[in-house]
Amino acid sequence: MSARIAHEQALYSSGDRTVAAVIDAAARMKGDLAAAIRQTGIDPAFHTSRDRSYEEFLPWSIVDSGLSFEFLKTEHEKARESLSSLPCPAVEKCTTCGVCPSTWLADAPEALVQIQPAKIRELLAI
């Protein structure tokens, strides 16, 4: 993957509602994302490069993967320090991440990753 495409994907996946205007403008400009960014005046670095607070509404806040917030926070902090985690242990009732045993791999993918419409409405105050 090129650096340009990686940057575009970071913008799409980390952006908020203002990025919708960029996507719309790019579609009208035959896919010219750079021109769309100039036209809309958004700062891509705001969406792709800044540090984010754990209290902030994040683009993936509406996805319930079954992993606990604390587990994800710990893993993020470890990744920032280039630390790794042990793989999941082969035990019957592991709850390190918050998924086991309530949603085990036999139920994947529906039970592991689900968009939660009610949570979306609540977070966006719709």
- In this structure, are 74 and 96 located in the same domain? yes
pLDDT, tens digit (0-9, with 9 covering 90-100), for 59-90: 677 777 778 888 888 988 998 899 888 877 76
Residue 11 lies in a domain: yes
Residue 33 lies in a domain: yes
pLDDT, tens digit (0-9, with 9 covering 90-100), for 96-124: 777 765 544 455 455 444 555 566 666 66
- In this structure, are 39 and 68 located in the same domain? no
Residue 54 lies in a domain: no
Contact at 8 Å (CB) between 58 and 73? no
Q: Which residues are CB-neighbours of 32 under 8 A, at least 6 positions away?
A: 26
Residue 10 lies in a domain: yes
Residue 53 lies in a domain: no
* Total count of residues recorded for the chain: 126
- In this structure, are 40 and 77 located in the same domain? no
Contact at 8 Å (CB) between 33 and 8? yes
Identify the domain containing residue 38 by its residue range.
3-48
Number of separate domains in the chain: 2
- In this structure, are 66 and 104 located in the same domain? yes
Per-residue pLDDT at 57 exceeds 50: yes
Confidence (pTM)? 0.56
- Region of 98 on the Ramachandran plot (φ > 0 left; ψ -120 to 50 alpha; else beta): left
pLDDT, tens digit (0-9, with 9 covering 90-100), for 10-55: 898 888 888 999 999 999 999 999 999 999 999 999 988 888 888 8
Question: For residue 44, which of 23, 75, 65 has the smallest C-alpha distance?
Answer: 23
Residue 71 lies in a domain: yes
